[in-house]
Amino acid sequence: MITIQDVANAAGVSVATVSRVLNNHPSVSSKTREKVEKVIRELNYQPNLLGRSLRRSETKMILVLLQNISNPFYSKVVKGIEDIGYKNGYHIMLCNTDSDPAKEHVYLKLLKNRLVDGAVFLAPVLTDQELTNIGENYCVVQCCEYKEHAQVPSVSIDNVAAAYKATYHLISLGHKRIGFINGNSGLISESLREEGYKKALCDSGIEFDPHLVRYDSYGYRGGLRATKEFLSMEDPPTAIFAVSDIIAIGAIKEAKESGLRVPKDLAVVGFDDTGIAAMYDPALTTISQPRYDLGRVTMEILMERIRNNNIDHKRIFLEHNLVVRESTIG
């Protein structure tokens, strides 16, 4: 491996001068600079980032912890994070925690061991207290999901309002019995969306029926299962609001299997507006989150924190949108 010393020897200068050339320090004569640059090219010298990072105590790397990249919701969020990072000279390190606290802790070692300069939590499984502690010592931001009592900034949508809007959409179409399929992961978005669902019912004078709420795993199977249960009720719902598109698709598939037509016999609303929502047949009515911007703003806050050691922990809420498609209006 070629080191800065090799370059210095070959160019007949000291390592300090080579380092200055590398870092565009002004006090290097152009003659020397050219000479050194020529040698760097000839030897194909690549500075060792470990040495540099050790000295500067920064690595220009950001850890992004998410549940699993297979969740299609994340792709654009990550893109937003990445673009802003890239613009600031930072690399992104994506890691799946699989919602496993042990794994999350292992990855957090990277933060504690200084291998990354900061971290984004896309679905923390740490406790509020742990997260607060980390926030005190390291640069971290929460994105999309957040721990309510953690003193760490967060960027998300207003989940109560979004769920309200989705539910109200169904109510405005005349539905009175609206099933709600929630997740069971203990995420804050789950309780907030349930709150919005209930609020919309209440505001419209529809009594809340606890039988119309199911908690199941995020995903297709959860949607199938919950819907099967709904449809076997004596007085089944005429509409379903699910907290993810994939759950909603499971619901539609199950409804079709049971001979129901969507939206005629059962209207379905999803959440997230992932790619599949528009592709499905029928295309899915859903809440669109500003996914790219969620990532972008999160990263902007993180960059700001790293630059200025800014420590306030605000909560930021971005705009969402109801996208009406065939699964509710046909």
Partner DNA sequence: GGTCTGGATGTAATCCATTACATAGGAGGA
Partner DNA sequence: TCCTCCTATGTAATGGATTACATCCAGACC
Binding site for a copy of itself (CB under 8 A): 1, 46-51, 53-54, 57, 59, 61, 68-70, 72, 74-76, 78-79, 82, 86, 91-96, 103, 107, 109-110, 112-115, 220, 246, 249-250, 252-253, 256, 275-276, 278-281
Partner whose footprint covers residue 22, from a copy of itself, DNA, none (CB < 5 to 8 Å by kind): DNA
Q: Does 12 bind DNA (CB under 7 A)?
A: yes
Partner whose footprint covers residue 92, from a copy of itself, DNA, none (CB < 5 to 8 Å by kind): a copy of itself
Total chain residues near DNA (CB under 7 A): 30
Partner whose footprint covers residue 232, from DNA, a copy of itself, none (CB < 5 to 8 Å by kind): none
Burial 223-249 (b: 16+ CB within 10 A, else e): bbbbbebbbeeeebbbbbbbbbbbbbb
Q: Which residue, chain included where needed, has tokens 């020897």? A: 9
**Residue count (the chain):** 330
Q: Which two tokens stand for residue 32?
A: 């020397």
Q: Does 307 bind DNA (CB under 7 A)?
A: no
Select 31 or 109, whichever has its Cβ closest to a copy of itself.
109
Q: Which two tokens stand for residue 249?
A: 């698709």
- Side-chain half-sphere CA neighbours of 235 within 13 A: 6
Nearest distance, CB of residue 67 and DNA, angstroms: 31
Nearest distance, CB of residue 61 and DNA, angstroms: 16
For residues 300 and 120, give the distance between their C-alpha atoms in angstroms, rounded to a whole number: 11
Nearest distance, CB of residue 78 and a copy of itself, angstroms: 6
Select 13 or 122, whichever has its Cβ closest to DNA.
13
Select 22 or 316, whichever has its Cβ closest to DNA.
22
Q: Does 59 bind DNA (CB under 7 A)?
A: no
For residues 216 and 317, give the distance between their C-alpha atoms in angstroms, rounded to a whole number: 27
Binding piece for DNA, criterion CB under 7 A, among 18-26, 209-217, 245-253, 306-314: 18-26
Nearest distance, CB of residue 11 and a copy of itself, angstroms: 20
CB 169 within 8 A of CB 322: yes
Q: Which two tokens stand for residue 231?
A: 């449809």
Residue type, 228: K
**Integer distance in angstroms from the first to the last C-alpha of the chain?**
66
Backbone phi, psi, residue 323, to 5°: -105, 110
Select 6 or 326, whichever has its Cβ closest to DNA.
6
For residues 177 and 206, give the distance between their C-alpha atoms in angstroms, rounded to a whole number: 8
Backbone phi, psi, residue 89, to 5°: 80, 20
Partner whose footprint covers residue 17, from a copy of itself, DNA, none (CB < 5 to 8 Å by kind): DNA
Residue type, 271: F
Partner whose footprint covers residue 231, from DNA, a copy of itself, none (CB < 5 to 8 Å by kind): none
Q: Does 16 bind DNA (CB under 7 A)?
A: yes
Task: State the CB neighbour count (10 A cutoff) for residue 314.
Answer: 8
From the list 100, 148, 108, the residue with the least C-alpha distance to 128 is 148
Q: Does 50 bind DNA (CB under 7 A)?
A: yes
| Cα 277 versus chain centre, distance | 18
- Whole-number CA gyration radius for the chain: 26
* Residue 247 φ/ψ region, left for φ over 0, alpha for ψ in the -120 to 50 degree band, beta for the rest: alpha
Candidate list 42, 51, 202, 221; residue touching DNA; CB under 7 A:
51
Partner whose footprint covers residue 176, from a copy of itself, DNA, none (CB < 5 to 8 Å by kind): none
Q: Does 109 bind DNA (CB under 7 A)?
A: no
Partner whose footprint covers residue 220, from a copy of itself, DNA, none (CB < 5 to 8 Å by kind): a copy of itself
Residues that bind DNA in the complex, under the rule CB under 7 A: 1, 3-5, 12-17, 19-20, 22-23, 26-29, 31-32, 45, 47-48, 50-52, 54-57
